[in-house]
Amino acid sequence: MISTVLPTYNRTPLSFVKGEGSWLIEADGRRFLDMGAGIAVNALGHANPELVSALTEQAGKLWHVSNLYKIPEQQALADLLVDLTFADTVFFTNSGTETAELAIKMARKYHYEKGAPRETILTFEGAFHGRSTAAIAASGGEKMVKGFGPLMPGFRHLPWGDMAAFEAAMDESVCAVMVEPVQGEGGIRPMPEDQLRALREACDRTGALLILDEVQCGMGRTGKLFAHEWAGVAPDIMMVAKGIGGGFPLGALLATENAASGMVAGTHGSTYGGNPLACAVGLKVSQIVSDAAFLDDVSRKAGLLRQRLEGLVAAHPDTFEAVRGMGLMLGLKCKKPAAELAAAAREAGVLVVPAADNVLRLLPALNIPDADITEAVARLDAAATAYEGK
Ligand SMILES: *Cc1c(COP(=O)(O)O)cnc(C)c1O
């Protein structure tokens, strides 16, 4: 008989009942160091007191009114995000996938309103933009799309890192280029800064819009508020979700006034998107994470974690191949099956997240204490030793 919860996930047999910072407590009392942070979502750790207050204070006042009315918390968060970024305007959603949907609609509508509709959206191999029919069409991965056709047309998938293929594909028929500055699900693959700049230049040349998916790599994860800042280029449209809600469902699409020009009243909407609860939490997360000293500390912690992981790889050359990634978005490229190593890590009391390309992802809370970083890598070391002894 089918499980009462639709069996679309391969779940690990652990049930957590409580979280404290970077720690998760299992129903049986065992404590796990959480280096996955709900897949880059719990950006400020579990049960963060400031977020708990933001949520409970708002919960006692008002949860939902619909977007028929002005929502002060939504306005405040939009104002802050516009202040902090390239963007002139923000639309709030409840997830990354919904943000991808709007990004695609906005890009197509932009060209339509300019009087020259364009269909083609270029994406890259290994991309992940969500699980809606449009988002799976965008990523094109065999496992994600098989059996779900017909898919939304118009996407063209290019090899990752092949700039000759990209330049050859760029012409005046291209509506938009959609890319993660650091691929997450694809195996923690940063796009080199010169390539990101080349995308920007090609978009400027052809009039295509640049859509950056910062759902996983944004909100301070790389040590800048958004990953594209490292390359010194700005997108026309940016997708944000995961970390911005700190665990409360919230997504945001940020755009320039020009890119958003087609999205007039009636062209898009969401019942829950931008509700007072989500925005009260998102505002608190954004205030904390955008602080320059906080971001500097992310980079410092990232340096510590990276250094420890390099040591781990050096100590286990038959198990691990390399460390890659940026900031607190790091990947351990494995020489043994990553899923087996994730299981061994779990046995040793540390949680990591497998990704494509046989990589283990480390996406800890951005405020993880240094001692927890040291402890996490010590546990990974114990896990590798135990695995190798089997
Ligand atoms: C997780 C993710 C998404 C999808 O977000 P959901 O909230 O699961 O819909 C989209 N893009 C990237 C880069 C992601 O990591």
Sheet of 320-326: strand order equals 320-326, 329-334, 359-362, 353-355
pLDDT for the residue numbered 8? 95
Residue list, ligand 1 pocket, CB within 6 Å: 95-97, 100, 128-130, 180, 184-185, 213, 215-216, 241-242
> Is 216 within any annotated ligand binding site?
yes
285 inside domain: yes
Which amino acid, one-letter code, is at 42?
A: N
> According to the model, what pLDDT value does residue 116 have?
96
Give strand ranges (E) for 109-207: 120-124, 155-158, 174-179, 182-183, 189-190
Write down how long the chain is: 390
- CA pair distance 295, 14, nearest whole angstrom: 32
Question: Is 356 part of any domain?
Answer: no
Report if residue 137 sits inside a domain. yes
Q: Which one, of 181, 205, 207, 200, lies nearest residue 107 by Cα?
A: 207
Report which ligand 1 atom has the smallest distance to the Cα of 213. 13
Cβ atoms 381, 352 nearer than 8 A: no
- Identity (one letter) of the amino acid at 331? G
| Position 332, amino acid | L
Q: Divide the 390 residues of the chain into consecutive groups of 10 and give the mean pLDDT of each group.
A: 95 96 98 98 98 98 98 98 98 98 98 98 97 96 93 96 97 98 98 98 98 98 98 98 98 98 98 98 98 98 98 98 98 98 98 97 98 98 96
Q: Are 297 and 369 in contact (CB under 8 A)?
A: no
Q: How many CA atoms lie within 13 A of 256 on its CB side?
A: 12
Which residue minimizes the CA distance to atom 11 of ligand 1? 129
Output the CA 252–ligand 1 centroid distance in Å.
Answer: 12
151: three-class secondary structure by DSSP? coil
Closest-lying ligand 1 atom to the alpha carbon of residue 131: 9
| 24 belongs to a structural domain | no
In-domain check, residue 362: no
Residue 342 lies in a domain: no
Q: Specify if 151 maps to a domain.
A: yes
Distance 100 CA to ligand 1 centre (A): 8
Q: What's residue 172's pLDDT?
A: 97
Please give the tally of structural domains in the chain: 1
What pLDDT sits at residue 390?
Answer: 80
Per-residue model confidence (pLDDT) at position 42: 98
Binding site annotation covers 215?
yes
CA 215 to centroid of ligand 1, rounded, Å: 6
What ligand 1 atom has the least distance to the C-alpha of 40? 15
- Cα of first residue to Cα of last residue in the chain, in angstroms, is 35
CA 15–ligand 1 middle distance (angstroms): 23
Instruction: Enter the DSSP assignment of 124.
Output: E
Residue 89: strand pairing partners: 255
Domain span at residue 192 reads: 71-289
Which CATH number covers residue 152? Answer: 3.40.640.10
6 in any annotated domain:
no
Say which residues have a Cβ less than 8 Å from residue 29's Cβ, sequence separation at least 6: none
